[in-house]
Amino acid sequence: MTSEAKHAYYQEMKQALAARRSEQWQAAWFHLERAHILGQQHFISHMQSHWQMLKLAADQTNWTEIRGQLLRLLLTPIGHLAGRLPTGNPGSSRYPALQALPVPDDLQALLSRSEQKDL
């Protein structure tokens, strides 16, 4: 991950935490989903995004999302080992865990630069 993408990931996490603290649930989910997309290819960042989603779901007593995040926390290591990580998936239970989705343009630009740097 480039330093620019890493910075964007941490900014999204920071904004999600601020929104969560002020109980702005929709904004918190928005920023966590963006952080997930940015950090998905990196194991620690990927796990952190699902852990924060689990905490947010618990704050809302959203049992469907709690179950979904527990499942994703179990599947994430397997997905990394198997190389099966669906690009663009926002990580919340609103989407199937293995469904690839289009990456928002602004995040795609960051991720493309990261992929070019990895080559």
Domain definitions of the chain by residue range = 3-118
pLDDT at residue number 115: 56
Contacts of 18 (CB under 8 A, 6+ apart): none
- Residue 111 and residue 98 in contact, taking contact as beta carbons nearer than 8 Å: no
The alpha-carbon radius of gyration of the chain (Å, integer) is 14
Residue 114 — very low, low, confident or very high, per pLDDT cuts 50/70/90? low
pLDDT at residue number 113: 72
For the segment 4-33, the average pLDDT, to the nearest whole number, is 97
Encoding tokens for residue 33? 């989903």
For the segment 80-103, the average pLDDT, to the nearest whole number, is 93
Encoding tokens for residue 75? 């599947």
Torsion of CA 46, 9, 61, 85, to 10 degrees: -30
- pTM of the predicted model, to two decimals? 0.91
The mean of the pLDDT values for the chain is 93
Give the DSSP H or E segment for 93: none
Residue 119 scores a pLDDT above 50: no
For the segment 58-84, the average pLDDT, to the nearest whole number, is 96
